[in-house]
A and B are shown apart, each in its own frame.
Chain A
Amino acid sequence: MRYDSITEAIGDTPLVRIDEQVHGLRNIDLYAKLEMLNPFGSVKDRAAWQMTRQALPAAVERGDTIVELSSGNTAKALALIAGMHGLPFRSVTNRMKVPEVKELLLLLGAEIEELPGQAECLDPTDPDDPLTRVHRMLSEADGGYLHTDQYYSALNTQAHLTGTGPEILRDLDGRAPDHFIACVGTAGSSTGVAAALRAGDPGVEVLGLVAHKSDFIPGIRTIDEVHEVGLFDPATYDAIESVTSDEAIDGMLTLIRRCGLLAGPTGGAAYYGAVRHLRSLDAELTGRRTAVFIVCDRVESYLSYIRRRRPELFNQPPRPNSVATLTAADLAAARAVDVEAARKWIAAERPLVVDLRGPFAYAALHIEGSINIVDELFDELLHGGLPFSRTQPVLLACPVGEKSLAYAALLTRMGHRDARSLAGGVVGWRDAGAPLVRD
């Protein structure tokens, strides 16, 4: 495979059979269409390229900015395409809930604007909804923008009508699958693929999957939100079912751990929804059937999304010298000194004064002669051992004397001879009228 441009690598993704041992369906062959193997990492590569390829030469000529309402994969693909052609890319979104994706987009050079949150008090002078305002901005700007408009553009659907759908037919030896399962985001892939498959066999059953209403699965809309999408046509789907984020993660773990597919939560939702839907049909089948679902993208961008919902998946073994392992006896044995005693001690024995606050706060005001090791860093240091001699007296200071007491206890347990905590912390120091300096 030799290409002149990465965009030529878009499409022609593998169709991989899921082992019967994994899904447990006796009469249905279940296949995953691995859209995550597109070069920019998702099913959106196809739509992004289809929506821009014709318009790009003129846009480059004019130096347009590519604009889209996307917080995820479409933005990612468009940012890369824009960059390849020397154009800026700007995205306006209110669904920016995945920090890694946000950072990745910044890295790719995208300009992201997150829309304001809802007002606490209703304001009748607020002209309209934010997305309408964005559309108005685009139409008033009189050029300068290439708006790809994924929720309304027929090119989005067309990418799948001419690409994804026919590829599935080809890989199934020209036969349409009996069931097609897709998550509904822009509805572009489900609509386009469904149309292509039904052209081969009108009897294909299409299942659309949406997110539970109060839940959030990246890239999937809820049952209410699909009504806002121009490409969404209820007639496309024989059924619409909803999946929770928990179920999506379950499905994702199965794909990752049992099938070797590095799928993200959306692919997991598709798998979970597919198996749940097919299981009841499977029991009554006599002949063989085929089903295809789409794996939209990869897992790497969703680590914090998963960590928030399933912290146990990231279980860390307990680390040595951790404040979490302190006992009540350790804490009771820790030494604390009040401000007056601390001032005398500093004057007499010059202990090392360690300020555990953040560097911004330390720079603003601190105890003269103290050094700043922010608590997170100090915590890291201690896992490896004492960062100073055990005979060097140390006075630890934090805002109110609580954290510093824990660290004094830990240092003592680690064998330090004279580690003390400033009782009342820097706040107590200030309140006692003791001097704080700013360098």
Chain B
Amino acid sequence: MQQPPLPDEPLYLEPRLEPLLRSALDSTGLLHTLVDALGSPLNVVLPEQLAENVARFRAVHRRHHLSGEIYFAHKANRSSALVRQLAATDAGIDVASAAELQHALGAGFTGPRIMATGPKNPEFLWLAARVGATVNLDSQAELEQLSALVRKQGLPRVPVLLRLSGFRSPGTAVLSRPSRFGTDLAESAALLDAVERHQDAIELTGAAYHLDTVGLPEKAVALEACVRVLDECRRRGLRPAAVDIGGGFGVNYLASQAQWERYTTELSESVLGRRPALTWQRHGYGLRAESGRLRGALSLYPAHRAVAADGYLDELLSLDAPSLGRPLATLLLENLYDLHIEPGRALVDQCGAVLAKVVEVRRTPAGEPLVRLDLNAADVGLEQHGVLMDPLLVPRQAPAHAPAPTGAGGAVGVYLVGNLCLESDLITRRQVFLPELPRAGDLLAFANTAGYCMDFTANRAMRQPIARTAALYRESGSWRWRLDDQYWPVHALGETR
């Protein structure tokens, strides 16, 4: 069987780098100075980029003449610098724990700019109600709990959104993965009865959904269903004002579609045993070979995407509502509803990187190069989130280090191993291709990790240090930095004092 000819280039998966992040990662000297001073691993964040991302989403609202809030899903990154910079924009914040809520308040957000979502304990509910945050209600039970709390504590009425799930489509059935969150649409009548009963304690402001999918048709079904539920609310004399469509707009991580397509094809061939392994022990990322056939599904983040983030939102809003027929943006606008969104990953796209020092380079008995890094798999969650993307090599410029153990030059496929004494501590289960073999003392930079892949899973296992975070910002044409906790969006004022 003749295959289309393949280029000779190694199976690179180069990260997509926009100018700000590229410039930061090109600052080799600065990065080495930072890691020398603050240790490995080290997170860097770029608050300026976050503000730019907010503006891009805002532009989509404007294009469709829609009002409504952009709530940053805080759980994507715990950095204070990012949250404080966000407080200086016109965006809001979506918090999923009492601690995140406290963090947001401490970073300058006031209650009305905060949305409380996710599973909530009484303390979280109380603080949200106390500061006048909007509560995104998961269930009728939570509604009852909140109302009781408001009455007992003599709190002001709390604005609430009703999180819905279990949407069913007209026409051909569009299946959706079942969600543990939200109230099933079939039970919405009882929920609205409860809303009417508790109007002294709560004020209904709209309906919400968050579907964990990249599928546009599913989201269109859900959005239209929310509009219909809100119409029922109006019929009951309530005054809802917004539909909150959550996040899940995605990020395009890779610079080249061709590289991504070639890699995933080669991965299939590798799983079928038709080419040398691309992964540790021929791990298949969800694919497996059964009597020569490929089975399973590739459980990877679709790392190259033509449409992501604000582009994805624009496309969703341009889709026709499945039964009412008008484009979704038009439907919202005509029905006088605001559009709330809660992007996490997409709002911190290009907002940071994880740096790790190369400790040792050696080869396995089979001759495969192993690069040992001073960080572990929990410090950079690319693998856990299924994002395949090559790290960048940041060579140490001072020539004082020892010669590389292999002396090899040219592109090389390596396995990255971490600093835990565990066989499982592979930074990636796949071979990563680098332009040359790194040497001890070099840095590897995992780019664009600010969304879920930076400190989401970092822990103190085996007493290894958790990465510190430095906020990088530009001033008078050069890069400056502060410890995350020392960064406030007024840094420019501070310098001119």
Which residues of A approach B to under 8 Å, CB–CB? Answer: 96, 102-103, 105-106, 111-123, 126, 128-132, 213-214, 223-224, 227-230, 232, 234-235, 237-242, 357-358, 360-362, 364-365, 399-400, 402, 426-427, 430, 438
Assess whether B272 is in contact with A227, with CB atoms less than 8 Å apart.
yes
Q: Does B422 contact A (CB under 8 A)?
A: no
10 contacts across the A-B interface (CB closer than 8 A):
A103-B171, A105-B172, A113-B173, A116-B174, A118-B302, A128-B296, A213-B265, A227-B293, A358-B331, A360-B326
Assess whether A360 is in contact with B294, with CB atoms less than 8 Å apart.
no
Assess whether A113 is in contact with B175, with CB atoms less than 8 Å apart.
yes
Q: Describe B's contact surface by its main secondary structure.
A: loop
A123 to chain B, nearest CB (A): 7
Measured CB to CB, the nearest residue on chain A to B257 is: A214
Assess whether A114 is in contact with B172, with CB atoms less than 8 Å apart.
yes
Contact among B174, B214, B235, B452 for A114, CB-based, below 8 A = B174
Assess whether A430 is in contact with B336, with CB atoms less than 8 Å apart.
yes
Assess whether A116 is in contact with B218, with CB atoms less than 8 Å apart.
yes
Assess whether B175 is in contact with A102, with CB atoms less than 8 Å apart.
no
Which residues of B approach A to under 8 Å, CB–CB? Answer: 1-4, 65, 171-177, 212-218, 227, 231, 234-235, 247-248, 250, 257, 261, 264-265, 268, 272, 286, 293-297, 299-302, 324-326, 330-331, 333-336, 345, 384-386, 452
A241 to B4, CA, bound (A): 7
B272 contact set on A, CB distance < 8 A: 227
B1 contact set on A, CB distance < 8 A: 234-235, 237-240
Q: A358-B331, A360-B331 are in contact. Are A120 and B212 (CB under 8 A)?
A: yes
B325 contact set on A, CB distance < 8 A: 358
Assess whether B213 is in contact with A116, with CB atoms less than 8 Å apart.
yes
A98 to B193, CA, bound (A): 41
Q: A120-B248, A234-B1 are in contact. Are A129 and B297 (CB under 8 A)?
A: yes
10 new A-B contacts at CB < 8 Å, known A116-B177, A121-B385: A117-B213, A117-B218, A126-B299, A213-B261, A224-B294, A228-B295, A240-B2, A364-B335, A426-B336, A438-B234
Assess whether B172 is in contact with A112, with CB atoms less than 8 Å apart.
yes
A103 to B172, CA, bound (A): 8
A228 contact set on B, CB distance < 8 A: 293-295
B177 to chain A, nearest CB (A): 5
Assess whether A360 is in contact with B335, with CB atoms less than 8 Å apart.
yes
Assess whether A119 is in contact with B336, with CB atoms less than 8 Å apart.
no
A277 to B65, CA, bound (A): 51
A102 to B322, CA, bound (A): 13
Assess whether A230 is in contact with B293, with CB atoms less than 8 Å apart.
yes
Measured CB to CB, the nearest residue on chain A to B228 is: A360
Measured CB to CB, the nearest residue on chain B to A429 is: B336
A358 to B333, CA, bound (A): 10
Assess whether A102 is in contact with B213, with CB atoms less than 8 Å apart.
no
A344 to B215, CA, bound (A): 48
Q: A113-B172, A114-B174, A399-B65 are in contact. Are A360 and B231 (CB under 8 A)?
A: yes
A297 to B173, CA, bound (A): 25
Q: A213-B265, A399-B65, A402-B65 are in contact. Are A102 and B171 (CB under 8 A)?
A: yes
Measured CB to CB, the nearest residue on chain A to B3 is: A240
B401 to chain A, nearest CB (A): 37
A105 contact set on B, CB distance < 8 A: 172
A184 to chain B, nearest CB (A): 12
A363 to B154, CA, bound (A): 38
B368 to chain A, nearest CB (A): 26
Q: Max chain B CB contacts within 10 Å: which of A120, A123, A228, A230?
A: A120
Assess whether A119 is in contact with B213, with CB atoms less than 8 Å apart.
yes
A119 to B452, CA, bound (A): 15
B268 contact set on A, CB distance < 8 A: 224, 227
B265 contact set on A, CB distance < 8 A: 213, 223-224
Measured CB to CB, the nearest residue on chain B to A91 is: B172
A238 contact set on B, CB distance < 8 A: 1-2
Assess whether B214 is in contact with A117, with CB atoms less than 8 Å apart.
yes
A122 to B298, CA, bound (A): 11
B326 contact set on A, CB distance < 8 A: 358, 360
The 5 A-B residue pairs whose C-beta atoms are closest, nearest first, are: A117-B215, A129-B297, A361-B334, A112-B172, A357-B334
Assess whether B299 is in contact with A122, with CB atoms less than 8 Å apart.
yes
Measured CB to CB, the nearest residue on chain A to B269 is: A227
A115 to B296, CA, bound (A): 15
Assess whether A120 is in contact with B250, with CB atoms less than 8 Å apart.
yes
A360 to B330, CA, bound (A): 11
Assess whether A122 is in contact with B231, with CB atoms less than 8 Å apart.
no
A116 contact set on B, CB distance < 8 A: 174-177, 213, 215, 218
A427 to B216, CA, bound (A): 27
B247 contact set on A, CB distance < 8 A: 120
B295 to chain A, nearest CB (A): 7
B46 to chain A, nearest CB (A): 23
Assess whether A130 is in contact with B297, with CB atoms less than 8 Å apart.
yes
Measured CB to CB, the nearest residue on chain B to A126 is: B177
A88 to B379, CA, bound (A): 53
B149 to chain A, nearest CB (A): 31
Assess whether B172 is in contact with A227, with CB atoms less than 8 Å apart.
no
Assess whether A132 is in contact with B330, with CB atoms less than 8 Å apart.
no
Q: A118-B302, A129-B297, A361-B331 are in contact. Are A427 and B336 (CB under 8 A)?
A: yes
A213 contact set on B, CB distance < 8 A: 261, 265
Assess whether B293 is in contact with A358, with CB atoms less than 8 Å apart.
no
A227 to B65, CA, bound (A): 47
A356 to B369, CA, bound (A): 67
B291 to chain A, nearest CB (A): 9
A123 to B300, CA, bound (A): 10
Assess whether B286 is in contact with A129, with CB atoms less than 8 Å apart.
yes
B227 contact set on A, CB distance < 8 A: 360
Contact among B172, B214, B216, B264 for A102, CB-based, below 8 A = B172
A354 to chain B, nearest CB (A): 14
A132 contact set on B, CB distance < 8 A: 295-296
Assess whether A365 is in contact with B215, with CB atoms less than 8 Å apart.
no
A362 to B234, CA, bound (A): 13
A362 to chain B, nearest CB (A): 8
B336 contact set on A, CB distance < 8 A: 361, 365, 399, 426-427, 430
Assess whether A122 is in contact with B384, with CB atoms less than 8 Å apart.
yes
A118 to B219, CA, bound (A): 12
A358 to B331, CA, bound (A): 8
Contact among A114, A223, A361 for B173, CB-based, below 8 A = A114
